[in-house]
Structure 1
Amino acid sequence: MRPDEILIIDRDTVERCLAKQDPVALVESMLHHHAAGGTVLPAEGYLAWRNGVGAYTRAIAMLGGSDTSSGRTYGMKLINASVSNPGLGIERAGGFTVLFDPETARPTALVEAGFISAERTAAYTMSTLRVLGPAGFDEVSIVGCGTIARAHVRLLHRYFGAVRRIHVHDIDPERARRFASDVTGRFPEYTVDIHPDVHSCVSASQVLVTLTVSDEPYIEAGSLRPGTFVAHVSLDDLRPEVFEHAQAVYVDDLGLVCDNPRRILGALIRDGRVAVPGTSDAPGSGPGRAITGAYGDVLRGALPAVRPDDGFVVSNPFGMAVADVVMGRAVADLARAEGLGVMVDLLGAATRAGGAA
């Protein structure tokens, strides 16, 4: 590649390339490097506004770098979203990841970010389920039936062959029906039960995955069955007592969670109701239990893995853009090797990657 050439990779190509990868292994490798200090994760850029219909709308720019099997990788994920987008028939979030040459810092690839973002999010859940989830399960409850929910079902089918029943709830009943139809159409062996209320969905199985955009906690500890693993992927679904009374609480990055009081766990830390590892319990209105630790430390054997028995275990990832960068690098490497994508000379014309000079 010449210094001003950039490979543009669309969603179809991303899907094609990731089908040949192991997304869980990619995310776990990044988490190993992150726990060992092999990543760089600067503060994100965040811009929010209300669009023409008054809907919450935002742009997030997240830079990251990580050691990988292909060498040091640097990049930036730009992911923008509006909660009114589904009403327009488009996904809530979309954007791209830019990869950088580690020597010249020039952009080398522009990769569609929506699919990768959903895939790495679901891959993180699959990893935590494998290590922290119930010893055996064949049912999963999902709250929120959007794009990321589809990614979770896709990877559940790939990594957990015993799963046969999915319980779902969405505040939009029609979205839940479309989701159920899509799932059974793609995976006929699945049964999808649509729950009219969230609490029956939550209590229907011992694996709960929350994938909403709620900014108001609503899931109570009493709704969870004994022995439940909760993948709290979205922002504010769990009420404070769930964190305060969990057997264990794992995060992907302590600093990110502590520094963001917009999310429920960060607010609980700020208020002294949950403490970070290595600190004394701060005073507050709750028991002030400590977060168990970072999940990457579990993967590298520095922290024990706690599975739920008569209580519940919570995984609360903040979401690290460095995972998108690592996954984008794997996609770009394979796309180049197979002549996929469109090569654009920023100083001139566009050509197919396979025919580029």
Structure 2
Amino acid sequence: METLRFLDRAAVSACLREIDPVEVVADLVRAHTLGRTTMPAEGYLSWTNGEGAYSRAIAMLGAVPAAGGGTAYGMKLINAAVSNPKHGRERAGGLSFVFDPETARPVLVAEAARLSAVRTAAYTLLSLRELGPVEPDAVTFLGAGVLASTHLELMVAGFPTLRRVYVFDVVPDRAEAFADRARAAYPRLAVEVAPDARRAVGVAPVLVTVTTSDTPYIPPSWLPSGGFVAHVSLDDLTEEAILGAEAIYVDDADLIRENPRRIMGRLMQDDKLLWTDEGGSAGTASTGRPLDGSLGQVLLGHRPARRPGTGYVVSNPFGMAVLDVGLVDAVATVAARTDAGVRLELF
């Protein structure tokens, strides 16, 4: 008989409460930078659904140092349709898998949207902790969906200095609903819905973009000095805003370069942004702007951390499969210890 463990969202959330996702992500980022992970090219499929909306499926595989020793193998399958929110559904959803290293069989399947959102927010918190204002008191969210809510959840826990939250969404009702939930959940916060994106961007030292935009729209003139931008949704900053940053940090330069669908990928392919090796050589005669490093290099002390001064700092995470695999492995370890979820008999 073969079985696997299934974790629904409630079980995933219960297991996540037993770990510190920011520290899990920090360990994984270090391991990846040291070459201790395996991350194949992701599988990507896109189509237009019956409403004419962009839809896609992404399969992200990886191998990482396991929470209990040895190596963990797994995958995240995360699918999305941009038309989902107007029907009351989350934009993205899917499943995360852990594989048995000996039989290669899936031994755990977990609801992926919660894991994926926590992984993304944990990376943002880690980058903000290392590269942003030391004691941020305010944050702006562009986009008011699940990612914004998850980021705020982790930021409230991670930054006791946080007092003000601003939000803008192209759907006003969504922004108002986010604000109402935030006020109820976090009484210490003053939460305000901004009238437009420009005014939202300029009022807080921390900006988190969590939109579905595929057209850059934020120029450098909108960004305040001393600010930190978590460019999570990847297509919000204009070319000028990226190239004009005081410092730019990434998670994996190769992933970014290989994807011209995103603005930083296009800039790297055009040699307007350059990735340098450990010795500082750009490996090209281009006069493009060098990236300042990866977050992993900062954590390991291989590159200096530059916090915002008179300009602004940009963190641009493409999204690494190894973080998803490592986080679901950590959850699987808790699930095994607590017997969380449901055991499913396959045959």
- Alignment TM-score, normalising by the size of structure 2: 0.96
Q: Quick one: which amino acid aligns to residue 304 of structure 1?
A: P
* Structure 1 residues 127 and 97, CA gap change in structure 2 (3 angstroms): same
1:168 maps to what in 2? 167
* Residues 123-162 of structure 1 aligned to structure 2 (within 5 Å): 123-162=122-161
Give yes or no for contact 1:133–1:229 (8 Å, CA) kept in 2.
yes
How many pairs are equivalent?
342
Give yes or no for contact 2:98–2:328 (8 Å, CA) kept in 1.
yes
* Residues 189-208 of structure 1 aligned to structure 2 (within 5 Å): 189-208=188-207
* Residues 23-102 of structure 1 aligned to structure 2 (within 5 Å): 23-71=21-69, 72-102=71-101
Residue range with higher mean Cα deviation, 144-153 or 242-251? 242-251
Question: SS where residue 39 of structure 1 aligns?
Answer: coil
1:268-287 residue CA offsets vs partner (Å, 9 max, x unmatched): 1112221111325665xxx6
Give yes or no for contact 1:60–1:80 (8 Å, CA) kept in 2.
yes
Q: For 1:78 and 1:236, how far apart are their aligned partners in 2?
A: 22
Q: For 1:89 and 1:136, how far apart are their aligned partners in 2?
A: 36
1:223-269 residue CA offsets vs partner (Å, 9 max, x unmatched): 11111111000020000011211111111001101111110100111
Question: SS where residue 176 of structure 1 aligns?
Answer: helix
The answer to which structure, 1 or 2, has the higher relative contact order (CA under 8 A, 6+ apart) is 2
Q: For 2:9 and 2:285, how far apart are their aligned partners in 1?
A: 46
| TM-align CA RMSD | 1.1
Q: For 2:15 and 2:134, how far apart are their aligned partners in 1?
A: 31
Q: For 1:306 and 1:281, how far apart are their aligned partners in 2?
A: 24
**Sequence identity of aligned pairs in percent?**
48
Q: For 1:82 and 1:235, how far apart are their aligned partners in 2?
A: 17
Give yes or no for contact 2:64–2:72 (8 Å, CA) kept in 1.
yes
Q: Quick one: which amino acid aligns to residue 23 of structure 1?
A: P
Q: Which runs of 4+ in 1 moved over 3 A?
A: 280-283
Give yes or no for contact 1:273–1:282 (8 Å, CA) kept in 2.
no
Q: C-alpha displacement at 1:86, in angstroms?
A: 0.5
Q: Quick one: which amino acid aligns to residue 171 of structure 2?
A: D
- Alignment TM-score, normalising by the size of structure 1: 0.94
2:298 maps to what in 1? 298
Q: For 1:269 and 1:334, how far apart are their aligned partners in 2?
A: 40
Q: For 1:274 and 1:253, how far apart are their aligned partners in 2?
A: 14
Q: C-alpha displacement at 1:135, in angstroms?
A: 2.3
Q: Quick one: which amino acid aligns to residue 153 of structure 1?
A: L
1:107 maps to what in 2? 106
Q: C-alpha displacement at 1:136, in angstroms?
A: 2.4
Q: C-alpha displacement at 1:68, in angstroms?
A: 3.1
1:279 maps to what in 2? 282
Residue range with higher mean Cα deviation, 328-337 or 4-13? 328-337
Q: Quick one: which amino acid aligns to residue 272 of structure 1?
A: D
* Structure 1 residues 281 and 141, CA gap change in structure 2 (3 angstroms): farther
Q: For 2:231 and 2:11, how far apart are their aligned partners in 1?
A: 30
Q: For 2:244 and 2:288, how far apart are their aligned partners in 1?
A: 10
Q: For 1:52 and 1:139, how far apart are their aligned partners in 2?
A: 41
